[in-house]
Amino acid sequence: MPDKNKYDLFLDEISNLEKQVYSFAQKSDDIAIQNESLLKKINEMEKENLILKQKINDFELRLKHPFSEDDLFGSLSSLNLEDRNILKNKINDLIKKIDSHLRS
C-alpha cells in the first residue's frame, strides 16, 4: 500500500508539472504573438517617423527660404482653386479701391 501511495503522489506531481508546462507554453505563445504585433507597430511608427522628419525638414527649408524665385508669393501654388479665387477677388477689390482713390 505505501508503494501505491508513492506512485499516486508521483503521478499527481507529474500531472501538476504537465499543467504548469502547458500553462507556460500557452503564455509563451501569447507573448510571442504580442511581441510580433508590437514589432509590426514599431515598424509602422518608424516609417511614420521618417515621413514626419521629412516633413519637418521641408518646413524648415521653407522657413529658411520663404519666397522661392519661381513664385512671387511663396507657396501660392500650394493653394487650392477655391482659395486662389478668393485671393484673386480680394486683390481685384484692392486694385479697384486704389484705382478709385487715384482717380479722385
Say whether both 97 and 51 belong to one domain: no
Specify whether 57 is located in the same domain as 7.
yes
59 and 98 within one domain: no
Report the C-alpha gap between 33 and 65 in whole angstroms. 48
> What is the Cα–Cα distance from 30 to 24, expressed in whole angstroms?
10
Both 61 and 90 in one domain: the answer is no
Q: Kindly state whether residues 6 and 45 are assigned to the same domain.
A: yes
Q: How does pLDDT run across 16-66, given as a tens digit for each residue?
A: 999 999 999 999 999 999 999 999 999 999 999 999 999 999 888 888 876
User: Which distant-in-sequence residues (6+ apart) come within 8 Å of 76 by Cβ?
Assistant: 84, 87
In a domain, 6, yes or no: yes
How far is the C-alpha of 20 from the C-alpha of 7, rounded, in Å? 20
Residue 7, domain extent: 2-66
pLDDT digits (tens, 9 = 90+) for 80-91: 788 888 888 999
Give the pTM.
0.48
The C-alpha cell at 11 is 503521478
Residues 35 and 83 in one domain: no
Measured CA to CA, the distance from residue 50 to residue 40 in angstroms comes to 16
